[in-house]
Amino acid sequence: MSALRNRPSLLVCIVLDLMGYATYLLPGLGEWADVIWAPISGWILYRMFGGKKGVIGGIFNFIEEMLPGFDFIPSFTIMWIIQFFRQHEQVQSIPPI
């Protein structure tokens, strides 16, 4: 179970992805800002989604924010989509009583 709740809102995930993109607004300083944002972003993703997927997603998010040119990947939104479809898959797989 997630540390914050079962599934964070899609809007929060999009806003967090936009915060990661905001480093592009700082010409020359953007990659340095990623050094600060990457661990914060990875930790937030881990806390939002929790468990094994939170750990894996947090590590992936940290690495993608640290690598130059890869911070365009919307990690939070992708994780939300994965969790959304997994929850629907689990609900549909419960046999009727």
Note whether 20 and 62 are within 8 A (CB): no
Residue 67 CA to residue 42 CA, distance in Å, equals 13
- Structural domain boundaries enclosing 83: 10-92
Tell me the C-alpha distance between 6 and 60, whole Å. 20
Q: In total, how many domains does the chain have?
A: 1
pLDDT digits (tens, 9 = 90+) for 23-42: 778 777 777 888 899 999 99
- The predicted pLDDT at position 63 comes to 94
> Is residue 21 in some structural domain?
yes
Q: Write down the H helix ranges in the chain.
A: 10-21, 30-49, 51-66, 75-92
**pLDDT tens per residue across span 43-60:** 999 999 988 989 999 999
Task: Tell me what pLDDT residue 47 has.
Answer: 94
Question: 97 lies in a domain?
Answer: no
- Mean per-residue pLDDT, 4-15: 80
Report if residue 56 sits inside a domain.
yes
Per-residue pLDDT, 6: 61
73 assigned to some structural domain: yes
pTM for the complete prediction?
0.78
| Domain contains 4 | no
Cα gap 54→63, rounded to integer Å: 14
